[in-house]
Amino acid sequence: MFFKPHAHVISITLFQREQFREALDQMAVHDSLDTMHVVVKTSELDALYDPEAIKEFYPCLKDGAEFTVHVIVGENETPGEEDGGIVRMSLVLAGLRVQHEATAADGSTTLTARKPGGTDDEVEEDSSDEDES
């Protein structure tokens, strides 16, 4: 595991799947992260991405924090048919709300989810209350 802290950004490079679950243990505390991005090549998704580990990151996210997973298709690679489904399910099972999913022309997939709470949820609840009146 390789850490590269930069002001308000923490960059972590993992070399083994087992490191994924513990990636934030040394670098983040509860309710400290506004945004988190995970980038993994489609060819390494099975080897490095641990869907069960997303639950371990949940406490480090602030209410309303954005969590994005980028599954990148490398050169001379083809996207896996189930890549988006694996990531989507891991986000949902961790308690995050999937808000956006996009697939690029090369087959790379980006899924963005949000931790419940924060100002966005309050705005949604207020607007749904007004609709009911």
Across 13-17, 56-60, 65-69, 122-126, least confident range: 122-126
Strand partners of residue 12:
3
What Cα–Cα distance (Å) separates residue 109 from each residue in 28, 81, 105, 131?
26, 11, 9, 34
Asked if pLDDT for residue 25 goes beyond 50, the answer is: yes
Whole-number pLDDT of residue 68 = 93
What are the structural domain ranges in the chain? Answer: 30-132
Q: For 30-132, which CATH class?
A: alpha beta
Q: Is the pLDDT of residue 82 over 70?
A: yes
- Show the beta-strand stretches assigned E in 1-116: 2-6, 9-13, 33-41, 61-72, 97-103, 109-114
Give the residue-averaged pLDDT of 59-77: 90
